[in-house]
Amino acid sequence: MTMLVHSLNIGRPQPENFHGKEVVSGICKQPVAGPLALTFTGFAGDGVADHKHHGGTDKAVCAYSGEHYGHWQAVLGISMPPAAFGENLTLLGLAEGDLCIGDSFRLGSAVVQVSQPRQPCKTLAARFGRADFVKLVVDAGKTGWYFRVLEEGVVASGDRLTPLAEDPLRVTVAEANRIFHHDRRNLAGIERVLAVAALSASWQQSFRELLQKCGKAD
């Protein structure tokens, strides 16, 4: 299947009222046609409120599979808004089991690399008014993922993703999710994920902590 950008989405942090809960967030992104400049820290015109958990070079671009939307519409019983998961890229033809941490792609005139799974947060749960939404996302394995930017460029809605290089260890986003969320005593799996050179700094730290909990230091 052709891998392409179904929707390119950006938004600045602003006050939001989610089911009576007031938050300042950039999660309510809106589709734009582009083209937009993509830099090492993300798309022009985009922003995040929580810099501790979002943004930075390892998490420059948040991506989500558009094929997942039907699942969530059935689960939640609502019509999903554009960029429902606060993603910059709603993609077609690509999901968590299809790509590996460290894989790189040509996207428009930029080059991006998978750096880690997306970790769903309480703001996402607040947006949909479901306290259990983070668990639902994690259990379904439909988390999305992050790209870092290897070469800056310009991206537009409708652009294709062209594979450039595959990471040799072939640790999928789905596998990393499974070990981190469901198989946290799997020493061999933890070490396998940690061996991926392209793994983001924050997930390296998280998996080192898992190693320590398994009784094995770095």
pLDDT on residue 49: 67
pLDDT of res. 171: 98
List, in order of start, the domains of the chain with CATH numbers: 4-169 (2.40.33.20)
Which residue has 């072939």 as its token pair?
A: 170
pLDDT of residue 215: 75
| pLDDT given for residue 112 in this prediction | 98
Mean pLDDT by 10 residues, the chain (218 residues): 93 92 92 95 87 83 98 95 96 97 98 97 92 96 98 98 98 98 95 98 96 76
Predicted TM-score (pTM) of this structure: 0.95
